[in-house]
DNA sequence: GGTTTGGTGTTGGCAAAGCAACAGAGGAGC
DNA sequence: GCTCCTCTGTTGCTTTGCCAACACCAAACC
């Protein structure tokens, strides 16, 4: 029935209409948020701006908040892609890129988010951590040394929250020195942990 | 079956999908023409750029030339709309606007059309005359004085070709004076005819 | 000559988007 | 209290777009 069940199939094939409709919805959402913020934004407005039917919106997203999560995740994934061009392995360089991405993205939030939309910040932050978790977990599974480790989920959880916390702290300001220096110190704390 | 038969109905309602698809096709066509001209342009390319299926293209246009006619007509109609904001009557002011539109549009063609695409100029020019004819005929039918005149088609034919000819002559250059002066002289010739 | 190659235009089956209507949940105004 | 209004999700049915073929044609290419 729903579009999402079809697109969730293992097959990589995606109907071009689904891609186009999703892009239309995301673009309309970004435009409207830039114009008047999240507060008071309705599904009808989004559907109208996207030139799609309101019922079609619900075929792609359960509600406005699911769209919100999707947009934020996509934006942060794009941030990560820019910093990790073609790296498939898990190393210090990758972890450093993730720290930098979290710092920059969460910093940008403080300036971009208007006062009235402050209530949405926790939702965004949760998505950032979730994306870090997913990326770490995929890396750990793909890694030959750590493969099949039963503690993969725990490791991914701990490290993702650690990176997220470092980024959030930087975004709140007050840290001396440059971002690169801060990232290095945070990274050594993440890698070394309490054992260092 | 085809989309065109549905949209040809008297009802003003148009499916949003039809509008969107047509706009995608037209935009893709304009982009590709701007990039590499008409020559060698294929339907597959247009459909690909428009992110629609090739079969869908044929549901909207019989072939590439029908799309070509549609785009040119739409562009010239837009040119007319800009010069005739909200006039519904047929008077000297409207005829003057049509002359000016024809002059400007056909002049722009000489500079925009590349050498290799010169073969398409007659097609464009035919569309310009056809649009002038349609507009004149609608005006004549709506006019209370000339209504029901059996000679409406003949009048529209003669006047539309006259305006078109004046515009084509101006577009070929060599006319002294300003465009406004030329339009006034052409207009008096059109209105007065041989009787003046 | 023969044979790929690539574009054209068409068709039938199926998936996605549109539409109109519905019940339900607030919120504003009286 | 009450009504009016708007937005939310949801549903059945219709329309449009997608896909994978197909036959045909013309220009390479060998």
User: What's residue B55's pLDDT?
Assistant: 97
Whole-number Å distance, CA B11 to C1' C22? Answer: 26
Q: Does A20 touch chain B (CB under 8 A)?
A: yes
Contact A50, A24 (CB under 8 A): yes
Q: Is the pLDDT of residue B114 over 70?
A: no
Please name the residues in contact with A68: beta carbons below 8 A apart, sequence gap of 6 or more: A29, A38, A120, A123
Q: What is the mean pLDDT of residues B57-81?
A: 93
Tell me how close the Cα of A84 comes to any Cα of chain B, in angstroms. Answer: 29
Buried b (16+ CB within 10 A) or exposed e, B79-117: bbeebeeeeeebeeebbbbbbbbbbbbbbebeeebeeee
**Confidence grade of residue A77 (pLDDT, cut at 50, 70, 90):** very high
Protein-contacted positions of strand D (CB under 7 Å): 6-12, 15-21
B42 C-beta less than 7 Å away from strand C = yes
Q: Does A16 touch chain B (CB under 8 A)?
A: yes
Q: How far apart are CA A33 and CA A41, in angstroms?
A: 8
Tell me how long chain B is.
196
Please name the residues in contact with A164: beta carbons below 8 A apart, sequence gap of 6 or more: A102, A125, A128, A129, A132
| Mean pLDDT lowest among A7-11, A116-120, A121-125, B158-162 | A7-11
User: What's residue B38's pLDDT?
Assistant: 86
Q: Do A20 and B51 touch (CB under 8 A)?
A: yes
Q: Does B16 touch chain A (CB under 8 A)?
A: yes
User: What's residue A58's pLDDT?
Assistant: 97
Q: What is the mean pLDDT of residues B118-127?
A: 78
User: What's residue B9's pLDDT?
Assistant: 47
Q: How far apart are CA A32 and CA A30, in angstroms?
A: 6
Q: Do A52 and B19 touch (CB under 8 A)?
A: no
Q: Phi and psi for A33 in degrees, rounded to 5?
A: -65, -40
Nearest CB to A16: which of B16, B20, B51? B51
**Confidence grade of residue A37 (pLDDT, cut at 50, 70, 90):** confident
Q: What share of chain B is helix, strand, coil (3-state, %, to 5)?
A: 75, 0, 25
Q: Is the pLDDT of residue B60 over 90?
A: yes
**Confidence grade of residue A13 (pLDDT, cut at 50, 70, 90):** confident
Residue that has been written with the tokens 């695409």 in this structure: B117
| Mean pLDDT lowest among A60-74, A85-99, A174-188 | A85-99
């Amino acid at each position: 029935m729903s579009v999402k069940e079809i697109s969730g199939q293992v097959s990589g094939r995606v109907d071009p209409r689904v891609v186009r409709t999703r892009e239309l919805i995301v673009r309309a959402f970004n435009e409207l948020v830039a114009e008047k913020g999240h507060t008071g934004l309705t599904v009808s407005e989004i559907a109208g701006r996207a030139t799609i039917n309101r019922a079609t919106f619900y075929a792609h997203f359960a509600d406005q908040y699911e769209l919100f999560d999707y947009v934020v995740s996509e934006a942060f994934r794009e941030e990560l892609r820019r910093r990790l061009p073609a790296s498939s392995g898990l190393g210090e360089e990758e972890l450093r890129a993730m720290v930098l991405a979290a710092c920059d993205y969460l910093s940008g939030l403080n300036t971009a988010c208007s006062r009235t939309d402050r209530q949405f910040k926790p939702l965004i932050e949760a998505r950032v951590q979730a994306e870090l978790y997913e990326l770490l977990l995929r890396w750990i599974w793909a890694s030959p040394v750590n493969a099949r480790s039963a503690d993969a989920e725990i490791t991914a959880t701990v490290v993702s929250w650690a990176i997220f916390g470092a980024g959030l702290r930087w975004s709140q300001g007050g840290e001396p020195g440059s971002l690169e220096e801060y990232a290095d110190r945070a990274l050594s704390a993440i890698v070394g942990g309490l054992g260092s």
